[in-house]
Homo-oligomer: A and B are copies of this chain.
């Protein structure tokens, strides 16, 4: 089994792929478009795509790819964003002068760095794995990256879990060309567009769900890029699209929408105890 992900070995998305299927072969891709192409072209069985972060919000760019491609969501996974401070074996904390990482990772560890390394110079890298590569060729340097990157590059973990926000999580979806049958603990993700310039249009649509006792777990509007006054709604709900109440509600929403798409029905993610 092959899972395509964006980034290089040791990247955060690779860790998500390994969590989904520990024994799978992981196929690195340069871009999210390449992840879709790899699954569509049969080079990979699955693709993994970050879709939402608890600090940054929904990743609209990747939702756009779900709209323009035809790969249903097969599963979801939530991964806490955990950063590690890596250095060459034998490096001592007292000798650290520079810390390399992607600016977002450096920002997520700002308080730790200010407290522990107030004099270290922060150096930007294109990715956390690129940061490890740069760190390897420098004396007195460290990098912020994943534990897996430490294994791959033979680096030492100087400090674990250095992120400032312990509740930062990223939600990934797993894509595959096939629909997922009901499991009894499913959710369904959809996108639709309704004219949003009249009060009540959205409420009428949402009634299709509440009248059928369907619980919504996510609802988000974003302005359409194409037409003023038109909004795209992203909605997640409990239940499988094949469940009669969900199927009925989706059919009614489809009738009222300019644009309507089901991204898939898939098992709800339940973190391991």
Contacts and interface: CB of A to CB of B under 8 A. Distances in A.
Interface of A: 31, 53-61, 102-104, 106, 110, 122-127, 130, 167, 196-200, 202-203, 206-207, 209-210, 212-223, 225
Contacts of A223: 54
Contacts of A200: 210, 213
Contacts of A215: 196-199
A123 to B, nearest CB: 8
B220 A221 contact: yes
Contacts of A167: 225
User: How many copies are assembled?
Assistant: 2
Contact of A216 (B61, B196, B216, B222): B196
Contacts of A220: 57, 219-221
Nearest to A126: B124
Contacts of A106: 126
A59 B60 contact: no
Contact of A60 (B55, B197, B216, B218): B55
Q: Is the interface of A mostly helix, strand, loop or mixed?
A: mixed
A60 B57 contact: yes
23 contacts: A31-B110, A54-B222, A54-B225, A56-B57, A57-B58, A57-B59, A57-B60, A57-B222, A103-B103, A103-B127, A122-B126, A124-B125, A124-B130, A167-B225, A196-B215, A199-B214, A200-B210, A202-B210, A203-B207, A206-B206, A216-B221, A218-B221, A219-B219
Given A103-B125, A199-B212, 7 more contacts: A57-B59, A103-B127, A123-B126, A196-B215, A202-B210, A202-B219, A203-B207
Those 8 A-B pairs whose CB atoms lie nearest each other, nearest first: A57-B57, A200-B210, A124-B124, A57-B58, A203-B210, A220-B220, A124-B126, A167-B225
Contacts of A57: 56-60, 220, 222
Nearest to A223: B54
Contact of A61 (B55, B103, B196): B55
A213 B110 CA distance: 45
Contacts of A102: 103, 124
Contacts of A53: 60
A53 B199 CA distance: 25
A196 to B, nearest CB: 7
Contacts of A56: 56-57, 59-61
A173 to B, nearest CB: 15
A84 B254 CA distance: 42
A221 B222 contact: no
